[in-house]
């Protein structure tokens, strides 16, 4: 019997895909769930997958790989999609696809399958990764083939086969959780006029219910990578988990966004990214202290392109690897300590220092100094403004002004 490896989350879509693959393709279905730090969601998966019809399930702990090989490069690049989205789902999909390919090779499977819809970005992210890593493998995307057209249809399909699912017709939110974030889409959120309700939030305390006193956290970076939280050296995943708890308790990290999907439409999502919000802000503060103006400004352009590559699923590509080489070269001096103030949803810097700081207090001071000759500014301005002066003289001579 031919085999297929399914990216399995235990959610609505992947729960019904197992029997669908058996009924329509005659495959032996092997489920694979990636442990990306989603916690208690993984506990029932092993029993549930087998009861639903999978011959076996792999649960792969990839938390450290996720942080070190996906989150950290994106953080160092400063990549934020459309100024808001910290790419929590986007970064995870290439890693899941990589593990699907590894298990397909191990099991001798001829295909992999995923539960991404034909309207979404994830289908692209999964399939581009498979094309880059295993172009011979067949990819099956049931949402592009079956007659199911809505979440409600999917709930009905599951009910007819006695498959328990974590959503109902009354609250059919689509959620994706990992160590970095938790996303919410669907139902009343599909109307951008609707404000998200407090009871939707899982990782974050609603800002108006957060403590009335600010919390300060200290982050130490080494070459752009966070290594300590409040002076404690922590495993990469543990640092994010601990910071998630602290930032979340202070209402930090809620993003309400209408974004441009790769497939051409706009969608609305609510993202909870407490630790990521603090880390991006702290990392940015560290770069402002340690990078020269030309490098910092050029890197801002790189960050935009990097974010698009990650969002679009073009992870295993020469351009991203080349950009990584540039980014890593900029991070050699991004080392030091940043204090962040967390208060009722706000996250702001409260202090920064680095042995590689380019900030010189003697140069910058408004008090008397002995090293800056203010008369030098006159010649600089004359030369810097010369093109403007020449153009203005021409316009006067030509009667244009």
Nearest to 311 by CA among 360, 260, 267, 381: 260
Asked whether residue 183 is marked as a ligand-binding residue, the answer is yes
User: Could you tell me the CA-to-CA distances from 21 to 122, 174, 195, 273, 392 in Å, in that order?
Assistant: 19, 22, 38, 34, 73
Nearest to residue 117, comparing CAs of 163, 152, 149? 149
User: 367 labelled as ligand-binding?
Assistant: no
Query: Exposure pattern of 111-127 as b/e (b: 16+ CB <10 Å)?
Result: bbbbbbbeebbbbbbbb
Using CA atoms, how far apart are residues 189 and 229, in angstroms rounded to an integer?
A: 35
State the catalytic residue, choosing from 13, 151, 176, 320: 13
Q: Tell me which of 61, 64, 93, 230 is the catalytic residue.
A: 93
Decide if 191 is catalytic.
no
What is the SS3 assignment for 119? coil
Q: Check whether 271 is labelled as a binding-site residue.
A: yes
- Asked if 93 is an active-site residue, the reply is yes
Cβ-proximal residues to 25 (8 Å cutoff; 6+ apart), any chain? 2, 4, 140
125 labelled ligand-binding = yes
Q: Both tokens of residue 213?
A: 């006193």
**Gap between the Cα atoms of 65 and 58, Å rounded:** 17
Count of Cβ atoms closer than 10 Å to residue 253 Cβ? 26
Is residue 10 marked as binding?
A: yes
11 is in an annotated binding site: yes
Q: Is 117 annotated as contributing to ligand binding?
A: yes
Is 156 labeled as catalytic in the residue annotation? no
Q: What is the spatial distance between Cα 328 and Cα 155, in angstroms, rounded to a whole number?
A: 46
Tell me the three state secondary structure of residue 328.
helix
- 32 three-class SS: strand
Tokens of 20: 């669908």
Among 122, 267, 268, 320, the active-site one is 122
For residue 276, say whether it is annotated as part of any ligand binding site. no
Question: How many CB atoms are located within 10 Å of the residue 75 CB?
Answer: 25
Whether 332 is a known active-site residue: answer no
β partners of residue 313: none
Residue 115 annotated as binding site: yes
The answer to the question of whether 256 is labelled as a binding residue is no
- Residue 121 annotated as part of some ligand binding site: yes
365 is annotated as contributing to ligand binding: no
Pair of tokens at residue 219: 């982050």
Does 237 carry a binding-site annotation? no
382 among the known binding-site residues? no
Spot the catalytic one: 151, 174, 176, 267: 174
- 306 among the known binding-site residues? no
Which burial class, exposed, middle or buried, applies to 102 when counting CB atoms under 10 A from its CB (0-12, 13-18, 19+)? middle
* Interatomic CA distance for residues 303 and 77, integer angstroms: 5
Mark the binding-site residues, compressed into ranges. Answer: 7-15, 34, 85, 90, 115, 117, 121-122, 125, 174, 183, 259, 271
Mark the binding-site residues for ATP, compressed into ranges. Answer: 7-15, 34, 115
Mark the binding-site residues for L-citrulline, compressed into ranges. Answer: 85, 90, 121, 125, 174, 183, 259, 271
Return the active site residues.
13, 93, 122, 174
Mark the binding-site residues for L-aspartate, compressed into ranges. Answer: 117, 121-122
């Amino acid at each position: 019997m031919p085999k297929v490896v399914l990216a399995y989350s235990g959610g609505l879509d992947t729960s019904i895909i197992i029997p669908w693959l058996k009924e329509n393709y005659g495959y032996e279905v092997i489920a694979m769930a990636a442990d990306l730090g989603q916690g208690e969601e993984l506990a029932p998966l092993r029993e549930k997958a087998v009861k639903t019809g999978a011959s076996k399930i792999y649960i792969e702990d990839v938390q450290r790989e996720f942080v070190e090989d996906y989150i950290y490069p994106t953080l160092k690049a400063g990549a934020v999609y459309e100024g808001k989205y910290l790419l929590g789902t986007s970064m995870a999909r290439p890693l899941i696809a990589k593990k699907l390919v590894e298990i397909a090779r191990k099991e001798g499977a001829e295909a992999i399958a995923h539960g991404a819809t034909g309207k979404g970005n994830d289908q692209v992210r999964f399939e581009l990764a498979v094309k880059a890593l295993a172009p011979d493998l067949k990819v099956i995307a049931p949402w592009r083939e079956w007659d199911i057209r809505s979440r409600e249809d999917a709930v009905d399909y599951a009910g007819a086969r006695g498959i328990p699912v974590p959503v109902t017709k009354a609250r059919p939110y689509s959620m994706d959780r990992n160590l970095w974030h938790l996303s919410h889409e669907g139902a009343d959120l599909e109307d951008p006029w609707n404000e998200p309700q407090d009871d939707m939030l899982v990782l974050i305390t609603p800002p108006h219910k957060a403590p009335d006193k600010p919390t300060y956290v200290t982050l130490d970076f080494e070459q752009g990578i966070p290594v300590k939280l409040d002076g404690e050296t922590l495993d990469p995943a543990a640092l994010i988990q601990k910071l998630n708890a602290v930032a979340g308790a202070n209402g930090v990290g809620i993003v309400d966004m209408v974004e441009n999907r790769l497939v051409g439409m706009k969608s609305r999502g609510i993202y909870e990214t407490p630790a990521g919000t603090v880390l991006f802000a702290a990392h940015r503060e560290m770069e402002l202290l340690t990078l020269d103006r030309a490098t910092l400004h050029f890197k801002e352009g790189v960050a935009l392109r990097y974010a698009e590559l990650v969002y679009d699923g073009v992870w295993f590509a020469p351009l991203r690897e080349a950009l990584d080489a540039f980014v890593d070269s900029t991070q050699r001096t991004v080392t030091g300590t940043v204090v962040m103030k967390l208060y009722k949803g706000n996250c702001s810097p409260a202090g920064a220092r680095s042995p590689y700081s380019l900030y010189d207090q003697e140069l910058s001071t408004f008090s008397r100094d002995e090293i800056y000759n203010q008369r030098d500014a006159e010649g600089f301005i004359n030369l810097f403004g010369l093109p403007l002066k020449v153009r203005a003289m021409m316009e006067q001579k030509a009667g244009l002004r």
